[in-house]
Chains A and B, each alone.
Chain A
Amino acid sequence: MTLTGISIWTTIALLAASAVLLAVLHRLRIRPQTVWINTTLFWNQALRRTRARSLWERFRHPLTYILLLLIASLLIMALANPRPSIDARDQEHTVFVLDLSSSMSVVSSNDQTRLDQAKQKLTELVDQFAWPEGFAVVVAGSEPRLLHAMGDLRPMLEHRLESIQAAAMPTDRQQAVRLAGLLLEGRERPSVCLITDRPFDPEILASSADDQQDVAGVPSCRVVQVGEPISNAAILSAIFEPDQKNPLVGTLRVRAGVWPKGEAIIKITARRERGPILSEKELVVSEKNEPKNGLIVELEVEQLAADGGTVVVEISGDDALRVDSVVRYQLPVRRPIRVLVENEVPGWLDLLMKLDPTLVLSNSNDANVKLRVAASEPLAGPAQVVEMKTAAEQASITGRAGLDTSAGTTFEDLYCTAGIPRDHFDDSITPLVTVDKHLIAASQPTAPCPTLWLADVAWNDDSPVIRSAAWPLIVSRSIRELADWTASPISLTPTMIQQIPEMDVKQTVAMPGSRAASDLTAVEASEASTSATSFFTASQHAWTEWLLLVTLALAVAEIILHTRGKIA
């Protein structure tokens, strides 16, 4: 334990002086009234009877002195303001990151800016710190910088906070949080506390770490949000879903979130950059009618060519809705699969090209050939479709039994049936199509290049197998897979520009926070606030307060006991 109020020697001197003074006063106090009597005969007998029964009587006077000395000692210790000795190795280290983005200059309903609220919150959090040397403060301004280092005198923090203002330039909170993490390297129980007016996902730090070592070193980060949630809307996400039949086009689905306070009008518009409006939607939203976590609005643009162009999505509202954002999405590029045929175009390919618009014939000068159709052995290069030689008795497969695309049939069973030597293939081959238990198609996505094996019956015979509905579909899908095509929806990464009319410079800012996020962090902030106002928290004053309380209780007990004659 350390004493911060008065020095240890002064404390000892005060205790010794109190002991002497109390001893003198105690002797004066316990001097009883002298009464002359004619005989002590009966008093002696009475005392012999009572003193033998009462151990308390024997020690009544010493106990009184001890009680008074204890009260004086506790009072002196309270003045000494003791604090538990702190082992730096076991103490929490926290870096507070103060967001200085321009949105922090927003004035809240209590005429305080968000930055003022953030400073107050920072002061409250710092005051709860039992160990003054365990915290530091980083400000997330135009560049993150250290405002208050660990070990700096606590009163200096207020002076430094007075001098900081919200930044007029874009701020990078992630950088500031990373700086906080660097400051906490090697320290015990590190944590980062971000005080901001917007949601912040601490997981971003871990996910964006350059390597695993960075992830392991990122301390825990909690967010304390200040400011009031405002009615706003934001574009949440956009995905491009390729069309199943024609994957060169797809549907752009944009999702926007709206969190109204009261009633507001929202309008979402999607258009080609410098082009016409592709789709728009306008609707009236109301706080009463919407779910607690806000409304999700979707906007679709169908049959949008996947040509790599830019779609601009705008979201706007009336005065009741604070939003004015524009997001740009770049469409994926989907070009047809260029096919190089060495010889004549086989019948199956001719049929396939009629049915699948993703395939186009090319020539040998095209550097963008994605698929080679050859009857030779597969070579290193683009994906290939190679003829698979089968046994002669299989030459006329009618396919009366239909195409069996079951993957349960082992390939060994199949190619043995096909009469193909085993050493032509490896275990990476996947049987795709069997007809009458004869292997017709197999996929080999690995070395020397992605290969689709087709039986020679498919190459030379215009058989019912080729004409069946499943055949071209299977081959088409296999070719797309070999050409590294994906039919899954693609999540588009937005870039956003927000233009503030009052300013001349376009700047990139973060999107307004969501109500759900603000509610969550608001609860956390209020909990922290409650604990700060609690009287008996593990603060720097707790020890003194407890000592004073115990001293007062003992003094009251001493008065009661003395009044009742139990002590001298």
Chain B
Amino acid sequence: MAALFDGKFIRTIRQLGLTANGVARGGRHAEHPAIELGSGLEFRDYRGYTPGDDFRRIDWSLYNRLGRLFVRQFDQLEDFPVYVLLDLSDSMWFDTPPRANMARQVAAAVIAAAVNQHDRPQIHPFGTEFVSPLRTIQGSNGLARAIDYLGTLASLGQTDLATCIRRFASQRIRKGLVVIVSDFFDPGGAEAVTEALRSLRHSILLVQLVRESDREPDIAGEVRLVDCESGARIDVQADSAVLVAYREAYNQFQTTLDRFAAKRGMAHVQLDVERPILDQLDQLFPLGVLQHAGRK
């Protein structure tokens, strides 16, 4: 774990920020403007008096001028929920370096950015199903707890991304930013994933962890392929025709995800597992994706 979250990495992520607009009401006071006007310090607008309004907000000078009662409205600054759905299925732990390492690093980076802005990030690891999440992450200690938490996580069984997404979507939680960190290799394919993502009412950031061998597998000849999660076996004569068909299938998978994300206003980021995470954080921070993820 020390190699995974070294000093350089932690120093870097502590400087990350997370910008979001239109945060749903109901959070604690933080730095993100809420959708609704609240009792903040900055004047925002007037509206007509309705019975029940606080008399202290009535603008009497305006009443003197217009003869009608108006109350003042101020911005409500609240925290921004960030939900990190972390795919730690068996496939994420396959190969070297495993995608799970970068996935936890990405989660730590997002958590750090959220913590820096006094937001309330949560980590929801899943495999076949969700395991106990880490919900209370506050302050500088919160990041340390999160990193410790991330370091203790292990393989969580076979992938069932679509089911986990739908299950998360059914929870009654504040709208926020859902960051799904995964390889998105659901057995149901891209269609199952996109269909499940439709059920999410949050802002969504898809962080797909890829490697070169996903598109260009180093396989040739007569081979028996074994799925590291399910153990399913298929015999393949990996000739040129099959490899071409494989690339077509992979490209079609990626295209499906990209089109869906573009159509739904989601951000879709691909991070190369075989490159250092710090070289790729620019894709997320500060002018990267996360800046736009919370905008409505």
Contact = CB atoms under 8 A, between A and B. Distances in A.
Nearest to B215: A42
Given A34-B223, A568-B222, A39 B91 contact: yes
Q: Which of B183, B219, B222 has the most CB of A within 10 A?
A: B222
B226 A34 contact: yes
A33 B223 contact: yes
B227 A39 contact: yes
B237 A35 contact: no
B229 A50 contact: no
Interface string B193-219: 000000000000000000000000101
A46 B242 contact: yes
Interface of A: 30-47, 49-50, 54, 57, 60, 565, 568
19 contacts: A33-B221, A33-B224, A34-B224, A35-B224, A38-B228, A39-B185, A40-B227, A40-B232, A40-B234, A41-B186, A42-B249, A43-B225, A45-B246, A46-B243, A46-B246, A46-B248, A49-B245, A50-B241, A565-B221
Nearest to B246: A46
Given A43-B236, A46-B248, A35 B222 contact: no
Contacts of A35: 219, 223-226
B26 interface: no
Interface string B66-94: 00000000000000000000000001001
Contacts of B186: 41
A42 B246 CA distance: 6
Contacts of B242: 46-47, 50
Contacts of A36: 94, 225-226, 228
A449 to B, nearest CB: 110
B211 to A, nearest CB: 9
Given A37-B228, A565-B237, A45 B221 contact: no
B227 A45 contact: no
A35 B233 CA distance: 9
A49 B248 contact: yes
A37 B245 contact: no
Q: Which of A33, A38, A46, A50 has the most CB of B within 10 A?
A: A38
Contacts of A37: 94, 217, 225-228
Interface of B: 91, 94-95, 183, 185-187, 189, 217, 219, 221-230, 232, 234-237, 239, 241-243, 245-246, 248-250, 253
Nearest to A30: B222
A228 B95 CA distance: 88
B94 A44 contact: no
Given A36-B226, A42-B249, 14 more contacts: A32-B222, A33-B223, A35-B219, A37-B227, A39-B185, A41-B187, A43-B246, A46-B243, A46-B245, A46-B248, A47-B234, A49-B249, A50-B242, A565-B221
A296 to B, nearest CB: 82
Nearest to B94: A38
Contacts of A34: 223-224, 226
A44 B234 contact: yes
Contacts of B235: 32
Contacts of B239: 565
B234 A45 contact: no
Contacts of A60: 237
A519 to B, nearest CB: 66
B274 to A, nearest CB: 14
A67 B2 CA distance: 59
Nearest to B250: A42
Nearest to A566: B239
A42 B225 CA distance: 12
B201 to A, nearest CB: 28
Contacts of A31: 224
Contacts of B237: 57, 60, 565, 568
Nearest to A564: B239
A34 B236 CA distance: 10
A334 B94 CA distance: 129
A50 B228 contact: no
Contact of A38 (B185, B221, B234): B185
A40 B235 CA distance: 11
A32 B187 contact: no
Nearest to A35: B223
A32 B233 CA distance: 11
Contacts of B95: 38
A515 B229 CA distance: 95
B124 to A, nearest CB: 22
A568 B94 CA distance: 29
